[in-house]
Amino acid sequence: MKTLTALLLLPLAVHAADLIEHAKAHPDGKAAFSFDATAWGDAEATRHLPIGVFDSGIGGLTVLEALLTLDVFHNDTLQPGADGVADFSQERFIYFGDQANMPYGNYSAVQRTDYLRELIVKDAIFLLGRRAYPTDGIAPHFKKPPVKAIVIACNTATAYGLEDIRQAAEAWKIPVIVVGVVEAGARSVLESKTTGGIGVLATVGTCASKVYPRTIASTLGLAGQSVPVIAQQGSATLAGAIEGDAAFPDSVAAYALKEARALAEAYRAEKPTAPLQTIVLGCTHYPLAKEEIDTAFATLRQEAAFRDLIAEHRTFVNPAEATARELFRELATSKLRLKPGEVCVLDQGLFYLSVPRVEEVGIQLSGDGNLDKDYKYSRSPGHLDFEDTKNVPLTPALIPVNSAKLVRERLPAVWKSLGK
């Protein structure tokens, strides 16, 4: 649990500290970026709360799919071994995608990591609170239940905000579990028993943090394994293309081929002695395009320059299942897992998405109704009395057509939970 802390060594951001004090100053949860501090009155009440999952958009639905379908533990004994019943069958989930502010991976490239870290803590506060907006509403309601655990289903958010959220939860003295995807991804690399090189395909921000190479190397080293060549490629386009963002008009396949080529070139620059075999999908959006990414590497192998550089059969690491396993163990250890026969305060899962708060004066929109790119990446932290986005119910109609097709075809449990 503390391995990532030692690797990142990021002090608590000044504006994350401001958010901690802001939430303390508004304990009733009525103000923006605050929550009801009495929600976790006792362990019994906490146990019946749902689990929160957040990402910078819809990519985190790949993690939610793993949570909804995982069956690797016995639900009665809690021991390893499938029992034919989904491990989280009695739990309910609240999913939040911060689509209005995505891609998170691009904030570091424009020196806005402080603002990114503020966004990440705000995501956690939303899941902890009761405050949300109705569809097309201009005033918030307070009907959303708080959560007992937070899954950071975003690699960039884990890299830059995991410890901020853990420190905030400790400062607020709330018994909330916080789990991120990076450590889980590194464990998946270990379990893959790779014999070739490792490539990390992620966002610009995740790669800039260097969190995956360090965590993978540490995980392999602690297990007594040699560390192979690790190369990474940060994409500023692939997540947006998968999301269906109009700013990225080419096909997902075209962007995947471009990034695969760049990763292969980065791997070549390391002068490896073994081919690139294991690809870490270091952005939760990327499993939605795994077929396109694999096809891209297969296409590259047809070129003489890459034939011996890329393994014929590649292993793709999706940290989602490992994250689900870790959450199960954390809930069981903390005695916050619902017991057989018990029910959550929610009858079914809830989904939310951030959208521009168009009624707010001063925000700038692009032609497609999203936040203007220049406006989005020029913002500074610390304006806690100003909301330029609002979180509304996520329905299939709010997902871009191409992205909805991917979710429908590749994340069936999520699609069913969305009501389709």
Of the spans 41-55, 102-116, 120-134, which averages the highest pLDDT? 120-134
Structure confidence at residue 357 (pLDDT): 93
Q: CA quadruple 352, 17, 154, 173: dihedral positive or negative? A: negative
Distances (CA, A) of 400 to 55, 57, 60, 63, 246: 16, 11, 15, 19, 9
More confident call, 42 vs 70: 70
More confident call, 256 vs 285: 256
Burial class (CB in 10 A: 0-12, 13-18, 19+), 343: exposed
Of the spans 110-114, 255-259, 283-287, 321-325, which averages the highest pLDDT? 255-259
In sequence order, what DSSP letters do the residues of 98-116 get, joined into one string? -GGG--GGGTGGGT-HHHH
Alpha carbon distance 395, 43 (integer Å) = 32
Q: Which of 211, 145, 149, 147 is nearest to 178 (CA)?
A: 149
**Is the pLDDT at 155 greater than 80, yes or no?**
yes
Q: To 10 degrees, the CA torsion angle through 147, 150, 153, 158?
A: 150
User: What mean pLDDT is predicted for residues 314-337?
Assistant: 93
pLDDT-wise least confident of 147-156, 305-314, 364-373: 364-373
Alpha carbon distance 15, 121 (integer Å) = 10
pLDDT per residue as tens digits for the range 225-252: 999 999 999 999 998 898 888 888 899 9
- pTM attached to this predicted model: 0.87
Q: To 10 degrees, the CA torsion angle through 122, 109, 156, 401?
A: 90
Query: Check: CATH 3.40.50.1860 for 184-319?
Result: yes
Alpha carbon distance 218, 278 (integer Å) = 17
Distances (CA, A) of 256 to 103, 131, 292, 413: 16, 38, 6, 25
Of the spans 192-196, 255-259, 366-370, 407-411, which averages the highest pLDDT? 255-259
Give percent of the chain above pLDDT 70. 96
What is the band of 136 on the pLDDT scale with cuts at 50, 70, 90? confident
Strand order in the sheet with 197-203: 230-235, 197-203, 276-281, 310-317
Report the SS3 class of residue 132: strand
Give percent of the chain above pLDDT 90. 72
pLDDT-wise least confident of 152-161, 299-308, 393-402: 393-402
pLDDT per residue as tens digits for the range 334-392: 999 998 788 999 999 999 999 999 888 789 998 888 899 999 999 999 999 899 999 99
User: What mean pLDDT is predicted for residues 35-63?
Assistant: 92
Helix ranges (H only) for 223-317 are 238-243, 252-269, 290-301
Tell me if domain 3-180+321-417 and domain 184-319 are identical in fold: yes
What is the band of 402 on the pLDDT scale with cuts at 50, 70, 90? confident
What is the band of 11 on the pLDDT scale with cuts at 50, 70, 90? low
Residue ranges of domains in the chain: 3-180+321-417, 184-319
User: Which CATH number applies to 3-180+321-417?
Assistant: 3.40.50.1860
Q: Indicate the pairing of strand 350-356 with strand 389-393.
A: antiparallel
What is the band of 4 on the pLDDT scale with cuts at 50, 70, 90? very low
In whole numbers, what is the pLDDT of the chain averaged over residues?
A: 91
> Tokens for 37?
């501090």
Please check whether residue 417 is in contact with residue 349, taking contact to mean a CB–CB distance below 8 angstroms: yes
**Is the pLDDT at 96 greater than 90, yes or no?**
yes
User: What mean pLDDT is predicted for residues 166-193?
Assistant: 92
Give the other-Cβ count within 10 Å of 402's Cβ. 13
Report the SS3 class of residue 236: coil
